[in-house]
């Protein structure tokens, strides 16, 4: 990571990675609570949860244009996925987050969540350049995995537990699912109004868990 990822750089990465389609195969069984506050993580420990939240807040940071991955619930999206479609990665995440903290303490003298943003970026840059130990299979792979899942948790359909309050879609300027495009939309002289609806809020779509309703 060559310094903090700006929003422009993150949007380029999102487009290149096809984040709009990088959604888990099955729905997570629980969505975020409406306020997202004080809700405990379900699979990671308290210390690991703090480290993950600190990481996602640097990967897609909030800035003067609006909130980022942390506010969008990307860390909680990842935690819930670790009991479902990402279950096989739970031990990789747990060990990797502990390794991030160990590297932070050995190089900067403090736990990762307590470092200032610049020092956190330096730790993450070490991971991206594969200059840290204790990761499976290696630090760069762990960095890329967390980055991809952070993108998913920020920009995917809110049904899956991330993109809280449609923060990711607003960041991208994505207006949401459209069943039809009228003449005003086709004129493309103004940004369409965001629908603020999950695909599974529409009766024509069955929810992935088979009950026909959003969680």
> Who's near 147: CB < 8 A, 6+ residues apart?
13, 59
* Pairwise CA distance, residues 103 & 188, whole Å: 49
DSSP 3-state of 66: strand
Report which of residues 142 and 12 the model is more confident about: 142
CB atoms within 10 A of CB 189: 7
* pLDDT at site 118: 96
Q: Tell which residue, 85, 71, 74, 78, has the closest CA to residue 43.
A: 78
Cα 5 from Cα 49, distance rounded (Å): 22
β-sheet bridge partners, residue 63? 66
- Angstrom distance (rounded) from CA 146 to CA 78: 9
For 193, other C-beta atoms within 10 Å of its C-beta total 9
Provide the pLDDT for residue 210: 53
pLDDT for the residue numbered 153:
96
User: Is the CB of residue 16 less than 8 Å from the CB of residue 61?
Assistant: no
**Is residue 122's pLDDT more than 60?**
yes
DSSP class of 5: P
In whole angstroms, give the CA distance from residue 23 to residue 211.
19
Q: Say whether pLDDT at 155 is over 80.
A: yes
- Cβ proximity of 35 and 167 under 8 Å: no
Q: State the pLDDT confidence band at 198, using cuts at 50, 70 and 90.
A: confident
Record the tokens describing residue 162, joined without a space: 């991330």
Q: Which residue has the higher pLDDT, 7 or 207?
A: 207
Q: How confident is the model at residue 39 (pLDDT cuts 50, 70, 90)?
A: low
pLDDT band at 13 (very low <50, low <70, confident <90, very high): low
Buried b (16+ CB within 10 A) or exposed e, 194-213: ebeebebbeeeeebeeeeee
Question: What's the pTM?
Answer: 0.77
Q: Provide the terminal-to-terminal Cα distance of the chain, rounded to the nearest Å.
A: 36
pLDDT digits (tens, 9 = 90+) for 83-93: 999 999 999 99
Give 68's pLDDT tier (boundaries 50, 70, 90).
very high
Most confident of 2-6, 155-159, 177-181: 155-159
Task: Encode pLDDT of 98-110 as tens digits.
Answer: 999 999 999 999 9
Q: Give the number of other Cβ atoms within 10 Å of residue 26's Cβ.
A: 13
User: In the chain, what is the greatest distance between 2 CA atoms, to the nearest angstrom?
Assistant: 60
Which residue did the predictor score with more confidence, 200 or 153? Answer: 153
Task: Tell me the mean pLDDT in the region 128-146.
Answer: 97
The stretch 184-206 carries a mean pLDDT of 75
In this prediction, residues 116-122 reach a mean pLDDT of 97
Residue 130: C-alpha distances to residues 17, 21, 136, 144, 176 (Å): 21, 28, 11, 11, 37
């Amino acid at each position: 990571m060559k310094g903090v990822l700006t929003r422009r750089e993150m949007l380029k990465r999102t487009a290149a990675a096809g984040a709009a389609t990088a959604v888990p195969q099955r729905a997570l069984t629980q969505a975020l609570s409406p306020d997202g506050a004080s809700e405990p993580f379900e699979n990671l420990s308290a210390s690991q949860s703090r480290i993950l939240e600190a990481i996602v807040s640097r990967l897609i940071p909030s800035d003067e244009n609006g909130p980022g991955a942390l506010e969008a619930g990307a860390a909680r999206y990842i935690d819930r996925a670790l009991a479902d479609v990402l279950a096989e990665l739970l031990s990789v995440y747990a060990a990797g987050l502990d390794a991030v903290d160990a590297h932070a303490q050995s190089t900067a003298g403090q736990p990762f969540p307590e470092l200032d943003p610049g020092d956190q970026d330096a730790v993450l840059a070490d991971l991206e350049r594969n200059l840290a130990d204790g990761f499976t299979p290696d630090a760069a792979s762990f960095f890329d995995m967390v980055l991809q899942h952070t993108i998913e948790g920020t920009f995917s359909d809110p049904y899956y537990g991330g993109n809280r309050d449609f923060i990711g879609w607003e960041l991208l300027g994505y207006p949401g699912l459209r069943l039809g495009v009228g003449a005003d939309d086709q004129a493309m002289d103004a940004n369409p109004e965001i629908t603020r609806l999950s695909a599974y809020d529409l009766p024509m779509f069955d929810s992935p868990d088979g009950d026909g309703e959003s969680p």
